[in-house]
Structure 1
Amino acid sequence: MAITSKWRQHIEAWQRSGLSQAEYCAAQQINVRTFTARLSDYRKLPKADSVALIPVQVAPSEPVDAGILFTHVQGHRLALPASVSARWVAELLRCLA
């Protein structure tokens, strides 16, 4: 089952609360079995904020004019100018993960 924003908010509020699942459900008047099922679904979701490492190889025989060159193992290349912000590169890598 897809996790709705309502259930995501409940799960995140429970995680911050320090209460047991049963205590949180009682306080929020939520069925504990339903909460447990939604929590299970939530834990199976890919984590958008997780960091993944991407293998990078430096190819000194191919100079880059003061920029960044990403080369994928299948031969795909992405050349970025040196003016690209580190924040933008981090967001790009997060989206590609």
Structure 2
Amino acid sequence: MSIFIAQAVWFAVLGLAMGGLATGRLSQRQYLAGMAAATAIGAVVCVITHDTTWASVNSGSFAVIIWLWWQSGGGDDTKRRLRPLARRFSPVRRTAPSAS
């Protein structure tokens, strides 16, 4: 029964993302985020049902969609939050331990 709920959620997210883009209510980044969620849910559903072919297709689609989302500026907030952490990082040079 839970697999049917997961498939229904997958179809709902997919439909909402496509409908939102078609009506102009969602930007491209929001559409890509919705499609990424739909393909991630689809991959999990396929893994649960042991459908490895479609699980790999959904996983590959997820990777491409996340890359497109990141390239369209979707990860700017994440990049902004990581920048202060990168500034505080100061590498320390250490010699490797030698076996005696």
Compute the TM-score of the two structures, normalised by the length of structure 2: 0.25
Q: Over alpha carbons, which structure has the higher Rg?
A: 1
Compute the TM-score of the two structures, normalised by the length of structure 1: 0.25
Relative contact order, CA 8 A, sep 6+: which one is greater? 2
Would you tell me which structure has more strand in proportion to its own residues?
Answer: 1
